[in-house]
Amino acid sequence: MKIKIIFFLIILVSFPYTGITETNENNLQLRKNYKSFGSILPITGKYSQLGKRSLRGIRTAIQRTAQFGQYNVFVKDSKSTTEGASAAYKQLTSEISPLFVIGPVPSNHLKFIEEANSVINQPIVIFPVFDANTHHENIKSFYLPVDKQVRTLVDFSLRDLNLKRFAVLYPDTGVGKIYSKQFSNYLNINGGKIVYSGGYNPDLSDLDTHIKWIESYKLDAIFIPDSAKNSTFVIKNIISDDDITNIIFLGPNTWNSEIFFNLSKNDFDGIVHKIIFTDFIDKDSEDWISFRTLYKTLFNEEPGSYEYQVYLATIYFLENDLQRQIVSSNNSMTPESHIFTINEGRIVRLK
């Protein structure tokens, strides 16, 4: 059956056994007997790369479950705007009754959908960096919360490593301040001590000033809640200072990345300069290896943590549908947080 589509964009790839078919967007062939879910993604505009990564996670999930069930996925372009996301949701739900909706991406576009729709009848899955502050039972957040990352790092540092004295070096941004505040609060409550806390310019121009301050303190560990690239730069500048020794560096899940590993693997041997970070992705696990293998087969490139997030969320809803299970009423779909280090040239899970 051919359907004329004017505003509604479906992203389509030829996969065996899936409900996604490659055809012109205005002359679409959909599988009649397949169930359908939707996705609101920035296919065009400034967030288009994020939309591409999201779609690849979705496509990998569909392929993974293809032998058990077949699905059409309707992808609506938000055009990377909040208004576009709201319009996309309206058009999506006027065309079909989706089992669930992946997106909007980015997650802060959600509020415009909530404001414009008094009734949301299907689960909507978003991927926020922080709590989305929504209490709607059908809006699900899949993310590793800052407080969970902080608690995992602090608990491991105090109980397993018996560390006592800490510094926090953070980017002077909204995100950096949130990480710093939560880390400091939870550490103090549990008996650790912050002996230095400083926010550096995001361009790292005043980093030397903070390192000079750190020289004057006896420290066990430094928490650096920054991006993979910036964190590596900060750490290398600290370890190049001969007056700062025997430090354990603590970081968030941004460190569990190829960027961080490739920039730092030759500097951290797990003995003199120790790296500890947290994430929900264990890249030695069967789940990750299976995902990575299929993703590379489909797209001929390495996947990232974000693609895996989208994949896991999509898998969750597809499997719930296949098994006819009721989706959890919890607003947060929070994965388990693990502890990792870099040792002998590889990322190793500690706990």
Is 334 part of a structural domain of the chain? no
**So what's the pLDDT on residue 44?**
94
Question: Cα(37)–Cα(21) distance, rounded to whole angstroms?
Answer: 15
Is 199 part of a structural domain of the chain? yes
Residues 6+ apart with CB under 8 A from 40: 75, 76, 78, 85, 88, 89, 92, 101, 102, 103, 104, 105, 109
Pair (218, 133) in one structural domain: no
- Do 72 and 56 meet the contact criterion of CB atoms below 8 Å apart? no
Is 287 part of a structural domain of the chain? no
Is 50 part of a structural domain of the chain? yes
Question: Cα(31)–Cα(1) distance, rounded to whole angstroms?
Answer: 8
> Which token pair is 103?
């997106």
Is 336 part of a structural domain of the chain? no
Pair (87, 171) in one structural domain: no
Pair (165, 243) in one structural domain: yes
- Domain of residue 198, CATH code: 3.40.50.2300
Question: Cα(346)–Cα(140) distance, rounded to whole angstroms?
Answer: 34
Pair (6, 40) in one structural domain: yes
Pair (129, 178) in one structural domain: no
CA 279-307-286 angle, to 5 degrees, is 60
Q: Is the peptide bond before 104 cis (omega within 30 degrees of 0)?
A: yes
Is 349 part of a structural domain of the chain? no
Phi, psi angle pair for 144, to nearest 5°: -105, 100
DSSP class per residue in 181-204: HHHHHHHHHTT-EEEEEEEEPTT-
Pair (254, 128) in one structural domain: no
Question: Cα(37)–Cα(316) distance, rounded to whole angstroms?
Answer: 13
Per-residue DSSP letter, 210: H
Domain coverage including residue 243: 146-279
Is 90 part of a structural domain of the chain? yes
Beta bridge partners of 234: none
> Which token pair is 106?
């980015």
pLDDT in tens, the chain (351 residues): 333 322 233 333 323 333 443 333 333 345 566 888 999 999 999 999 999 999 999 999 999 988 777 888 999 999 999 999 989 999 998 888 899 999 898 888 887 777 766 567 788 888 877 655 566 677 888 877 888 899 999 999 999 999 999 999 999 998 899 999 999 999 999 999 999 999 999 999 999 999 999 988 999 999 999 998 999 999 989 988 888 888 999 999 888 888 888 877 666 655 445 899 998 888 888 999 999 999 999 999 989 888 998 999 999 889 888 776 554 545 556 677 889 888 777 788 888
Question: Cα(229)–Cα(219) distance, rounded to whole angstroms?
Answer: 24
Pair (70, 54) in one structural domain: yes
Question: Cα(160)–Cα(269) distance, rounded to whole angstroms?
Answer: 19
- Do 226 and 168 meet the contact criterion of CB atoms below 8 Å apart? no
Nearest to 143 by CA among 255, 308, 287: 308
Q: Which of 142, 171, 191 is the last residue of a domain?
A: 142
Nearest to 51 by CA among 22, 28, 72, 80: 80
Q: Which of 279, 313, 329 is the last residue of a domain?
A: 279
Question: Cα(153)–Cα(163) distance, rounded to whole angstroms?
Answer: 11
> Which token pair is 34?
């397949």
Is 188 part of a structural domain of the chain? yes
Beta bridge partners of 341: 348
**So what's the pLDDT on residue 334?**
66
Distances in Å between the Cα of 138 and the Cα atoms of 100, 118, 169 are: 9, 12, 38
Nearest to 225 by CA among 270, 186, 167, 281: 167
Pair (186, 223) in one structural domain: yes
Pair (53, 82) in one structural domain: yes
DSSP class per residue in 293-341: HHHHHHHSS---HHHHHHHHHHHHHHHHHHTTPPPPS-SEEPPPPEEEE
Domain count, the chain: 2
**So what's the pLDDT on residue 132?**
55
Q: Which of 112, 142, 172 is the last residue of a domain?
A: 142
pTM for this entry: 0.72
**So what's the pLDDT on residue 230?**
93
Question: Cα(261)–Cα(39) distance, rounded to whole angstroms?
Answer: 32
